[in-house]
Amino acid sequence: MDSDPMVALTGQVARDFVGNDAFQETDTTGVTTPVTKDNTFASDPDTVGSDVSEAFALAREGRPGPTLVDLPKDVSNADTDCEPDEPKVPDTYEVQERADPEIVEQAARRIENSSKPALLLGGGVIKGEASEACREFAIEHEIPVITTMPGIGSFPEDHELSMEMAGMHGTGYANMAVTHCDTLIGIGTRFDDRLTGGIETFAPDAELIHVDIDPAEISKNIHADYPLIGDAETVVTQLAEEIETSPQATKWRAQCQQWKSDYSMAYDAPEDRPIQPEFVVEALDEATSDRAIVTTGVGQHQMWACQYWTYTEPRTWVSSHGLGAMGYGLPSAIGARIAADDDQEVVCIDGDGSFLMTLQGLSVAVRENLDITVVVLNNEYIGMVRQWQDAFFEGRHSASEYNWMPEFDKLAEAFGARGFRIDEYDEVADTIEEALSYDGPSVIDAHIDPQANVYPMVPSGGDNGQFALAEDQL
Amino acid sequence: MTGGLDGPAPEERPTPAGRRTAQGIRVDPEVEAEHEPRRTVISTLVEHEPGVLSDVSGLFSRRQFNIESLTVGPTDDEGRARITLVVEEPDPGIEQIKKQLRKLVPVVSVRELEPDAMRRELALVKVNAMRPDQVAAVAEMYGATTVDASPETATVEITGSDQKIDAAIEAFSQFGIREISRTGTTALARGTTDTARETPPEESAQQTNPQQPHADDD
């Protein structure tokens, strides 16, 4: 769902044993079919090289996705004189780069005549390297910009036109804008239910211009009035060339600014309560550069990391969007550290529950001396589950309370990483400074207000425009 | 609990006038279209390789598409097989089925057939042969051939549309049906219309309709 190009090479029992329930045999191509873009059982030592080449080509071409080659032991051990083919996709795989010019023209007319236009930038904008083209387009025509969660970083959140993220825990102003716009230009987004809320009330007055490289995403969840199949950057450029006059939307932009002040994300941080998580996220953002990469697990901390960090560059936000896989934070921080430039900080904002799922990765980070900083927003709860149990199940906490959480600072030290702990507001800035300056993996166990909840919130299947600002509005 | 934010409460906010159907289509109050399921035939040309049938059938169960029948067989090209699907879905679902099929890497071409396409199904029906003359008479009525006979049984082969086969089975049931085996529908488009075929290289190079990534404009 997150369209990440990834190649998995999996080990299989020797060909003679396949199908016999041999030791450690699993029907890997069978069990991975629903979760891969394509997979292959490499049945021949002469073609296994080409199978792998093709897997690399397919993972990246068109809409990216995971591919897999299952390698029987006797095939990977065999000798061959065959050279693998150059990486190329099979002839049956075709990708359309340019959208139908007629529909581009109609969409351009619609944008020109719109009085309440909005851009909705998804992860496809970042994957398609279209962030720059979208920025120019939005600024040139002064169109307010909403992002999805994977689209975070495609447009600078400190820009006047930015409405930030929409959806279940999106900003109030983004949800107002998406609900009230008359023309929605969705680029590289699959209109996930966490974004749309109830379909009936999603952008109900808007004509939808949908740009996507995957034809199957067009009109899957939300009907596209102007289906534009193609590469995001190419199609945005086509649109930009076709539009002659910017939409007249002064009133709409003023309305959007008004919503930004009406539904400000300003939070309370009373001195007599434990540290609020938003404060820690803002302090981290403050202490790092604009190009710092943030990775997260899944849950409340992930939402605070979306909401209270100001993202300005593409590929600085790394998270598990579609599957929402807890434990994603540390492994992706390790990957990001290896891929990132030396001057980019890598910060993993994690939850106590998510961190506990994959923290053994610290041994890799220590072994490779990877300079990453993990900040655990520790509330000793599986917080998002606890928040739902409070809101929808009369506070009956089931399997969400973890008052036996380990002390993560000591655990980090046990792995050979640096460990820190924060309990008070006045420790936050200094501890972050010290952890960031340590050249190697460090973990800050930040004990936050265990009762803190994430708002705004659109309940599952609800109306985006009716987001709750507090529990009593749910 | 903490974490609440300030701002106008939900009931104080303006609400838009429109809405969408459950299929994501914006409701134009003048023409509110409800999509009823309809039955149609989708023909796909696929690479003849292991796993392709499970790719296709897995797709249908995973995405909860309603499938009535699926048949598969070789073609004149030994590298290609044809899978014929009968599905019952509303229009947006049928569009989604075609797009999802096209996304599968081993799928070469996908096409929804016109309602007038030739559709045939084959059935083998084994009945009790206590009254052989009457069995033969019913068989003749439906153009069925007797392919096996024993003192107690007769097996007939019937080819035709699924309605014709349903009717024949109904007629044979008077003798007492022991077993039935049906193939499911296979189909070809009429006349010079293509069913779902491979694009010759020169045609695909100068493809005129950029809306269709595969050469199966339907």
Residues of chain B neighbouring A97 (CB-CB closer than 8 A): none
CA distances from A252 to A135, A138, A177, A249, B59 (A): 19, 14, 9, 5, 43
CA distances from A280 to A218, A378, B125 (A): 39, 11, 74
Q: Do A216 and B96 touch (CB under 8 A)?
A: yes
Q: What is the pLDDT of residue B32?
A: 57
As a whole number of angstroms, the distance between CA A214 and CA A217 comes to 6
Which CATH number do you get for residue A350?
A: 3.40.50.970
Q: Does A388 touch chain B (CB under 8 A)?
A: no
CATH architecture of B118-187: 2-Layer Sandwich (3.30)
Domain ranges of chain B: 38-114, 118-187
* Smallest Cα distance from B201 to chain A, Å: 10
Q: Does B39 touch chain A (CB under 8 A)?
A: no
Which pTM does this prediction carry?
Answer: 0.88
Residue A474: inside a domain: no
Residue A109: inside a domain: yes
Residue A202: inside a domain: yes
Fold classified for B38-114: Alpha-Beta Plaits (3.30.70)
Residue A83: inside a domain: no
Closest by Cβ to A454, choosing from B3, B17, B23: B3
A224 and A308 inside one domain: no
A284 and A417 inside one domain: yes
Closest by Cβ to B22, choosing from A90, A98, A200: A200
A residues 179..238 contacting B (CB < 8 A): 179-180, 191, 199-202, 204-208, 214-216, 218-223, 225, 227, 229
A326 and A284 inside one domain: yes
A241 and A344 inside one domain: no
A233 and A380 inside one domain: no
Q: Find, among B37, B33, B26, B218, the residue nearest to A226 by Cα.
A: B26
Closest by Cβ to B7, choosing from A216, A263, A451: A263
Local mean pLDDT, 10-residue blocks, chain A (474 residues)? 95 95 94 94 96 97 97 96 94 93 97 97 97 98 98 98 97 97 97 96 96 96 96 98 96 97 94 94 97 98 98 97 96 98 97 97 98 97 96 94 92 98 96 97 97 95 95 89
A34 and A117 inside one domain: no
Q: What is the pLDDT of residue B203?
A: 45
As a whole number of angstroms, the distance between CA A252 and CA A180 comes to 10
Q: Do A265 and B5 touch (CB under 8 A)?
A: yes
pLDDT band for position B217 (cuts 50, 70, 90): very low
- The answer to whether residue B62 scores a pLDDT higher than 90 is no
Residue A465: inside a domain: no
Q: Do A223 and B95 touch (CB under 8 A)?
A: no
Q: Does A467 touch chain B (CB under 8 A)?
A: yes
Residue A186: inside a domain: yes
Domain count, chain A: 3
| DSSP-based three-state secondary structure for B162 | helix
Q: Find, among A231, A368, A370, the residue nearest to A295 by Cα.
A: A370
Q: Tokens 């009133």, residue?
A: A251
Candidates A68, A92, A251: best to mutate against B (most CBs of B within 10 A) is A92
Query: Which of A77, A111, A135 finishes a domain?
Result: A77
ipTM for the predicted complex comes to: 0.78
A258 and A305 inside one domain: no
A124 and A65 inside one domain: no
Q: Tokens 């008359």, residue?
A: A182
Cβ contact A1:A34 at 8 Å: no
What is the mean predicted confidence (pLDDT) over B185-193?
91
* Smallest Cα distance from B87 to chain A, Å: 18
Q: What is the pLDDT of residue A343?
A: 94
A283 and A196 inside one domain: no
Q: What is the DSSP string of A212-241?
A: ES-GGGTTSSS--SEEEES-HHHHHHHHHH
As a whole number of angstroms, the distance between CA B97 and CA A336 comes to 37
As a whole number of angstroms, the distance between CA A231 and CA A127 comes to 10
Cβ contact B214:B110 at 8 Å: yes
Q: Do B105 and A206 touch (CB under 8 A)?
A: no
Q: Find, among B41, B52, B56, B163, the residue nearest to B113 by Cα.
A: B41
Q: Do B55 and A33 touch (CB under 8 A)?
A: yes
Q: Tokens 């039935």, residue?
A: B180
Q: What is the pLDDT of residue B29?
A: 58
Q: Find, among A154, A148, A141, A169, the residue nearest to A253 by Cα.
A: A141
- The answer to whether residue B34 scores a pLDDT higher than 90 is no
pLDDT band for position B49 (cuts 50, 70, 90): confident
As a whole number of angstroms, the distance between CA A169 and CA A303 comes to 7
- Residue A58's closest chain B neighbor by CA? B105
Residues of chain A neighbouring B2 (CB-CB closer than 8 A): 268, 273, 276, 449, 451-453
Residue A461: inside a domain: no
- The answer to whether residue B206 scores a pLDDT higher than 60 is no
pLDDT band for position B208 (cuts 50, 70, 90): very low
Domain that holds residue A106: 101-262
Tens digits of per-residue pLDDT, B104-139?
A: 999 999 999 999 999 999 999 999 988 889 999 999
A111 and A134 inside one domain: yes
- Across all residues in chain B, what is the average pLDDT? 86
Which CATH number do you get for residue A186?
A: 3.40.50.1220
A213 and A121 inside one domain: yes
B residues 127..146 contacting A (CB < 8 A): none
